[in-house]
């Protein structure tokens, strides 16, 4: 399980998190949504222990697979070397990765859709390609908890679809706790069981996607009229999507 209980974070006179409580048990996936500056990244950092809490508490396992918003390196590491870094906690202080660690890293790259970059230098990859490699690094940890900070932000539409399908495939065995931040409520509809909405005035709303991803709550969250519509997929399946009112209304 990962989460926060009555968490308070202040930056000077400004309160970013005000008695925030939520939990992500193994078997559930959480999407954290909100406009820029509302505290999504702070929430993740507090949950991971990177951000000190002024009040409250956190719960997280010793090893968490973490995917930051961006990744950069001044060293000429190959993508496979970055992925195998996810094995560090299993090696000890002076341990070196062995063949089994590289096998796990290669499998993680394959699952993240980044196997073709294995021998490419990380600093030569595009932002979206780096995100996929960092996701592989998180998978290589073997942790039951995966935390992703806006993982789709640098991805084109095709890779967003690949990412969402991967998140759904990670969720299906119900053996991991997954939390990710996003600007797009459609990502929550596609790949999350629960949603945490970072509302104005340091307030929040936490609950199942069906109860939180609604026009009323999203209008308060983003400050624009929203609509939930039903669409027909390429195979004839029906699913919901969220659109701002200015985009028009589509119906099945």
3-state secondary structure 100-111: HHHHHHHHHHHH
pLDDT higher than 70, residue 33: yes
pLDDT tens for 129-170 read 888 899 999 999 999 999 999 988 878 888 888 888 888 888
Strands (E), 93-161: 145-148
Task: Find, among 138, 114, 111, the residue nearest to 126 by Cα.
Answer: 114
Q: Specify the DSSP class assigned to residue 187.
A: H
Share above pLDDT 90 across residues of the chain, in percent, rounded to a whole number:
61
**What's the pLDDT score for residue 126?**
86
pLDDT value at position 94?
76
| pLDDT above 90 for 108 | yes
Domain borders along the chain are 2-207
Tell me what pLDDT residue 248 has.
57
CATH homologous superfamily, domain 2-207 = P-loop containing nucleotide triphosphate hydrolases (3.40.50.300)
Which phi and psi angles does 120 have, rounded to 5°?
-85, 150
For residues 229 and 246, the model is more confident at 229
pLDDT at 251: 46
> Do 133 and 109 touch, CB atoms closer than 8 A?
yes
- Average of pLDDT values for 45-68? 94
Residue 105 pLDDT more than 50? yes
- Is the pLDDT assigned to residue 73 strictly greater than 80? no
* Cα distance from N-terminal residue to C-terminal residue, the chain: 38
Average pLDDT on 54-75 reads: 86
pTM for this prediction: 0.87
Torsion, CA 115, CA 117, CA 118, CA 122, rounded to 10: -140
pLDDT at 247 over 80: no
Q: Give residue 125's Cα distance to chain centre.
A: 21
Q: So what's the pLDDT on residue 72?
A: 65
**What is the rounded distance in angstroms from the CA atom of residue 147 to the CA atom of residue 180?**
6
């Amino acid at each position: 399980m990962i989460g926060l209980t009555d968490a308070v974070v202040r930056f000077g006179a400004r309160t970013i998190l005000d008695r925030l409580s939520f939990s992500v048990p193994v078997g559930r996936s959480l999407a954290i949504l909100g406009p820029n500056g509302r505290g999504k990244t702070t929430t993740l950092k507090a949950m991971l222990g990177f951000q000190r809490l002024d009040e409250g508490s956190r719960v997280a396992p010793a090893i968490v697979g973490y995917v930051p918003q961006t990744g950069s390196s001044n060293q000429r590491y190959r993508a496979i070397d970055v992925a195998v870094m996810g094995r560090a906690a299993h090696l000890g202080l002076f341990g070196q990765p062995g063949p089994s660690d590289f096998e796990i890293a290669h499998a993680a790259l394959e699952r993240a859709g980044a196997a073709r970059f294995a021998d490419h230098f990380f600093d030569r990859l595009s932002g979206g390609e780096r995100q996929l490699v960092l996701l592989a690094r998180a998978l290589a940890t073997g942790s039951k908890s995966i935390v992703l900070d806006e993982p789709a932000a640098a991805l084109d539409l095709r890779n967003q679809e690949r990412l969402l399908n991967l998140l759904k495939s990670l969720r299906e065995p119900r053996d991991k706790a997954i939390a990710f931040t996003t600007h797009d409520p459609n990502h929550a509809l596609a790949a999350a069981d629960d949603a945490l909405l970072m509302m104005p005035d340091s307030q929040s709303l936490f609950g199942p996607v069906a109860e939180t991803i609604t026009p009323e709550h999203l209008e308060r969250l983003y400050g624009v009229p929203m609509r939930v519509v039903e669409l027909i997929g390429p195979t004839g399946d029906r699913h919901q999507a969220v659109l701002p009112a200015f985009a028009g209304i589509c119906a099945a």
